[in-house]
Amino acid sequence: MMVLFIGTVVWAIYFDTMKPNPGLTAHPAGQTYEVPSASAPGGKRQVTIPAVAGLPVDQHLGNLEGKELRFGTSAGAAWGAITTDVTCGAINAEQDSLNPLAGLSPMVGVWLNCIFGGKGAIDEQSFGSHHPRVATNLNNLALLLKSTDRLEEAEALYRRALAIDEQNFGSDHPNV
């Protein structure tokens, strides 16, 4: 897990800070692609991509679009990778402000968080299995399972979260 964690942080910093944003760089003309077409002879036609002029944006510091710069240019990418790997996934730069390859890092981090427990497992170990924060985590996980049509698994988690909330707040509380 530690190797994956370090890998996502390095990946995010490298592709977001040390590479220019491909949306702002020039692209040469003349690339041709074959695309399917019902009206073209042979069912395919050639499409030529026009040249794209580079925008006059200084990128020597990397991609700065939508970034929090108080802690340096790599802070947003690093923070996004770290928090999605180990906790709630709060990121310091919007997902769409990361370069395309750097944007994979928070996605992999969310996957790591789901596989290895992340914040939910940490809360249960820290506060005990009957704490309201654990109930909230269970409820959120049940919501995800429900949205993916895994209803039996979701119901079990909803029932466990409800029992924890009833134990902590009583059955008349608005949270219950």
Q: Supply the pLDDT for residue 108.
A: 78
| One domain, residues 139 and 103 | no
Query: Per-10-residue mean pLDDT for the chain, 176 residues long?
Result: 78 76 68 86 85 66 66 72 70 65 76 65 73 82 82 91 91 82
| One domain, residues 101 and 70 | yes
129: number of CA atoms within 13 Å, CB side? 3
Are the beta carbons of 105 and 9 closer than 8 angstroms?
yes
Rounded CA separation 157/145 (Å): 9
Task: Return the number of other C-beta atoms located less than 10 Å from residue 47's C-beta.
Answer: 11
112: in domain = yes
| One domain, residues 72 and 124 | no
| One domain, residues 85 and 59 | yes
83: in domain = yes
With 0.75 as the threshold, say if the pTM is over it.
Answer: no
Q: Supply the pLDDT for residue 118.
A: 61
Q: Supply the pLDDT for residue 156.
A: 93
Asked which of 100, 116, 132 is the last residue of a domain, the reply is 116
Q: Supply the pLDDT for residue 159.
A: 94
Q: Domain total for the chain? A: 2
Instruction: Identify the three-state secondary structure at position 125.
Output: helix
Tell me the β-bridge partners of 27.
52
42: in domain = no
| One domain, residues 68 and 17 | yes
Question: In 3D, which of 103, 105, 86, 85 has the Cα closest to residue 94?
Answer: 103
| One domain, residues 148 and 105 | no
Residue showing tokens 């985590």: 137
Containing 160, the helix (H) or strand (E) segment is helix 151-169
84: in domain = yes
| One domain, residues 83 and 59 | yes
Whole domain around residue 61: which residue ranges?
Answer: 2-24+53-116
Q: Supply the pLDDT for residue 165.
A: 92
| One domain, residues 20 and 88 | yes
Instruction: Identify the three-state secondary structure at position 30.
Output: coil
